[in-house]
Structure 1
Amino acid sequence: MADVEHTIGLLLGTEDDWPRAFEALLRRLGTVTGPDGLSHRTRPVRVTIEPFNLRDKPKHELVIDRLAYWYYHPREWLKKIALMDDVYLLNSPFTFQSMEKHAAYCAMMRLGLKVPDTVLVPFKNPLDNSRWAYTAARYNRPFDLEATAASIGYPLYMKPYDGGAWVGVSKIRSQEDLHAAYDASGERLMHLQASVEDYDAFARSLTIGPETMVMRFQPDQPMHARYQVDHNFLSDCAGEEVVTISRVVNAFFRWEFNSCESLVRGDEVYPIDYANACPDVALTSLHYYFPWAMTALLRWTVFCVVTGRRMRLDTDTADYFAVADDPALSYPEKLARYRALADRYFEVERYQEFCDKHLSTVDGIVYDWVTSEEFASLLRETVRATYPVHEHEKFLAHFTGLIDAWIRDQNR
């Protein structure tokens, strides 16, 4: 029997594959002896949505949120349990209310990162608000859309300031493209962003706590083929910068379960998107990298609840801005200072020591699970739920082959 039991809440939308994987791995992990000498067991519970009294005490110590970026009722519950009950949330609901890119662009530009030139343009169509006509007539200044685009240069991208999953993103090559995309934007608020042409690699880095996996991403491919298994597609210098940017973004905003997209040309890294409230961790997307994601999520959540790590709602922006404003520091020196601040936030050394001492069996647990019939059954059921019947055999073979490649690599 465990001396202490911790409850992790899973606030979910339509996904079922990774939650089942996470639940299975927690069961297999069983009890963990913590630094306090006590036996700790962690229990996952799927969160239901219902009326809540603001003085109710939640049963959860930590909640993994995959829903509140669009569903307002649980979003307000998350704010309540963070402010009143000290429940640990992997992503702060106060800096991550929605998949909003604008503040993230501003902050990282302020830190001197190589974010492409970006302009926010007014709504194309009037808002459904009775005050719109008066305010627009009095205060909205006419602007030249073509001149604004020309100041950035073609080609460029038009993208929603708060979007996700590539919805509403258009590559603009001409004035005709520009007007067509702007007309179609309607009441969506849009950015115009310079394109990084002739890049060598598109990197998507998934970060969970202080662990980061950098993957080669192919956005023009269907989801099952977007993550290419390639361990050497970046130079050591560029790879380390992608990792640093990912962790700095997350530490800055208090995000601990997030993905970052960067375009890499030579050793130059251009971060273009790094606010993903619901990062892709689907089995049929990550495939080869899925076991790593589940391992990292297991380790970080268990570390947080067993050590009593407290959520940090306050941000240390002044510490980052002091580095940004120091004229004596070069760009690499600033990155190193930012990385030190991020590592301090994530308690990297303490986390590594905890994993080495208290979670040393996790890699073996994950390997045994991935090679088990339980995982094979999960994969079959996920493929059947995701693809039409006539494609089941093809995709089952596809994903089985990628998982087999991961298994072989663990035995090298």
Structure 2
Amino acid sequence: MTERIGLVVGYEDTFPPAFIAKVNETPGFRAELAKFGGTPERYQSPYRVLVDRLSHEVPYYRFHLKAAMLAGTYVVNDPFWWSADDKFFGFSLASKIGVTVPRTVMLPSKSYAPSIDPSRSLRNLEYPLDWGKIADYVKFPAILKPADGGGWKNVSRVNNMDELLRDYNDSNQLVMTLQEFIEFDEYVRCICIGKKFILPIKYDPRRRCYVEADNFLPKALEQKILDGAWALNHALGYDMNSVEFACKDGVPYAIDFTNPAPDMCVRSILPRYFHMVVDEMARFTIELAREGRKNASVHAFQKFLESPIPRPETT
């Protein structure tokens, strides 16, 4: 019996063929671009594993993947958790599990949809914001960025109050976060697969590119980064992620770590690291398929479904 592993992707052109070819080297397993449409409520999935790299952009895919998961497919990453997370929650979670993060404040949107009447719908919102208190906590320079964004979109460095208010006023309906800027000595992006494989790569955020380098981290700092990435992925439940650290004076500050569809293009992560990532993704998904593993969310649903439904007492 051949176990099928499906890949859900968009415009990617280097990772999909390399991943499919690598999986298909192993007898008994077949990787392919997944196909689905017209999902019935009693869906039976033909895939043992689905690797999701696009459902954040295509809502139907996200809904389908939840049905596939209930049907017994292991989905990388769990669509229920992915639907629920946001970057600001990640910072709050990191602080709870002992991972160092910069001082961060979430800001309400500057503007709202026309259907929102501020005098009625925003009665719980403090107005005006205490900008002095916010700036005193975060300090300048700071980074203004979306609370749920990615891909460096709508991100700006602000050096004073005037720049902060200018960029905040341009953010329109986005929910933004203001975050302490770390004057880093070293910047690292870790590609993480299966919660165990963590590949720290030197990264240049100014040029937004990976840099090939050997032994670029002191051993003690590297271990702190590995420990932090491991803790974050376990807390978030991610099997596929990238985790960024800005390092200053031997302290790694987790900057960005809710990236459940991380960049895996050979032109971005460089051939040396690309082949390592492809090999590990293939190995991990084959392991999932071979073991018939289920997502953690499925176990919670199964426990509920298998338990007797409590009925209210009658009088």
Please say if residues 23 and 283 of structure 2, whose CA atoms lie closer than 8 Å, have aligned partners that are also in contact: no
- State the number of aligned residues: 297
> Aligned-pair distance for 1:147?
3.5
Please say if residues 43 and 68 of structure 2, whose CA atoms lie closer than 8 Å, have aligned partners that are also in contact: no
Please say if residues 252 and 315 of structure 1, whose CA atoms lie closer than 8 Å, have aligned partners that are also in contact: no
Q: Select 2:26's aligned residue among 22, 26, 30.
A: 30
Cα RMSD for the two superposed structures: 1.8
> Aligned-pair distance for 1:130?
4.0
Does 2:206 align with 1:211? no
Does 2:187 align with 1:202? yes
Q: Select 1:61's aligned residue among 29, 32, 48.
A: 48
Q: Measured at CA, do residues 81 and 156 of structure 1 come closer, stay the same or move farther in structure 2, by a change above 3 Å? A: same
Q: 2:149 maps to what in 1?
A: 163
Q: Select 2:160's aligned residue among 174, 179, 198.
A: 174
> Aligned-pair distance for 1:135?
1.8
Q: 1:264 maps to what in 2?
A: 247
Q: Measured at CA, do residues 190 and 176 of structure 1 come closer, stay the same or move farther in structure 2, by a change above 3 Å? A: same
Q: 2:82 maps to what in 1?
A: 96
> Aligned-pair distance for 1:312?
1.6
Normalization by structure 1: what TM-score? Answer: 0.69
Q: 1:52 maps to what in 2?
A: 39
Higher relative contact order (Cα pairs below 8 Å, separated by 6+ residues)? 2
How far apart, in 2, do the equivalents of 1:79 and 1:252 lie?
A: 20
Structure with the largest fraction of helix: 1
Choose 73-82 or 183-192, whichever is displaced more.
73-82
Q: Select 1:10's aligned residue among 3, 7, 11.
A: 7
Does 2:176 align with 1:190? yes
Does 2:229 align with 1:246? yes
Q: Measured at CA, do residues 315 and 196 of structure 1 come closer, stay the same or move farther in structure 2, by a change above 3 Å? A: farther
State the AA in 2 paired with 1:22.
F
Render the CA deviation track for 1:175-223: whole Å, top value 9, x for unaligned. Answer: 12101110111000001111112x211100001112111000001215x
> Aligned-pair distance for 1:250?
1.3
Choose 139-148 or 255-264, whichever is displaced more.
139-148
Q: Select 1:108's aligned residue among 83, 94, 99.
A: 94
Please say if residues 48 and 292 of structure 2, whose CA atoms lie closer than 8 Å, have aligned partners that are also in contact: no
* Secondary structure in structure 1 of the residue aligned to 2:288: helix
Q: Measured at CA, do residues 128 and 247 of structure 1 come closer, stay the same or move farther in structure 2, by a change above 3 Å? A: farther
Render the CA deviation track for 1:38-90: whole Å, top value 9, x for unaligned. Answer: xxx111121235221121201011000001122211101111222x2121012
* Secondary structure in structure 1 of the residue aligned to 2:177: strand
How far apart, in 2, do the equivalents of 1:144 and 1:309 lie?
A: 49
Structure 2 alignment gaps of length 5 or more = 301-315
Render the CA deviation track for 1:129-173: whole Å, top value 9, x for unaligned. Answer: 34554122x322211224412321111111100000110111110
Q: 2:274 maps to what in 1?
A: 290
Q: Equivalent residues in 2 for 1:130-145 (5 A)?
A: 130=116, 132-136=118-122, 138-142=123-127, 143-145=129-131
> Aligned-pair distance for 1:240?
1.4
Q: 2:218 maps to what in 1?
A: 235
How far apart, in 2, do the equivalents of 1:30 and 1:113 lie?
A: 38
How far apart, in 2, do the equivalents of 1:53 and 1:168 lie?
A: 38
Structure 1 alignment gaps of length 5 or more = 32-40, 317-412
Identity of aligned residues (%): 25
